[in-house]
Amino acid sequence: MRVLKRTSVCLKCILVLTLLLSVPTYTNAQLKKVAKIEKVKSFTNGSVALNKTIIDEVEVYSVTLPNNSKYHQPIVFFLGSKDEMIKNLKDLSEALETGTKGEVFDFTVCGKKYQLSFSRSLGQKCFKIWEPINVSSDYGRFFKATMDDILEYIENKK
């Protein structure tokens, strides 16, 4: 009986010491701001948003596209820094101008690899864009008219 009581007291002491040693790691947790995301402007009646993310004083632009599957999160399509974004949008717009049905493109920017396929929806040319590590039914449509509107907005802003 005495041995059992001592063992119980020792186990309680070990438990208390463990808790005391682990509490400081939880109480010293600090928040660190790593990025700032701001919406620049909406296009296509508000369904596409141009966003600017600032990470360590580096600006990276992206667009948020509605997901084909309405039950999932929107598709975030990175475009790069401001100069890269302008170049990429011009290249994408030109590719849609001359593209034909069935063409598929790989697009890599900011360390992310996207797959784009030429498509038409309601007579308008667009890319179906799949995010990396995504299921085949989840894609966003990026229309040529929207790309041209973003380019026009950026040019007029200068």
Q: What is the pLDDT of residues 96-107, one digit of tens each?
A: 998 888 888 888
| pLDDT of residue 130 exceeding 70 | yes
Average pLDDT, the chain: 81
Task: Give the pLDDT of residue 29.
Answer: 59
**Spatial separation of the C-alpha atoms in residues 143 and 146, rounded to whole Å:** 5
| Of the candidates 53, 86, 76, the residue with the CA atom closest to the CA atom of residue 152 | 86
- The mean per-residue pLDDT over the stretch 109-123 comes to 87
Contact between 124 and 143 under an 8 Å Cβ cutoff? The reply is yes
Q: Could you report the per-residue pLDDT of 49-75, keeping only the tens digit for each? A: 999 999 888 899 999 998 887 777 888
Q: How far is CA 155 from CA 44, 77, 125, 126, 138, in A?
A: 18, 21, 22, 22, 32
Task: Give the pLDDT of residue 139.
Answer: 85
- The mean per-residue pLDDT over the stretch 122-139 comes to 79
- Name every residue whose Cβ is closer than 8 Å to that of residue 150 and which is 6 or more positions away in sequence: 43, 50, 63, 89
Task: Give the pLDDT of residue 95.
Answer: 92
| pLDDT of residue 127 exceeding 80 | yes
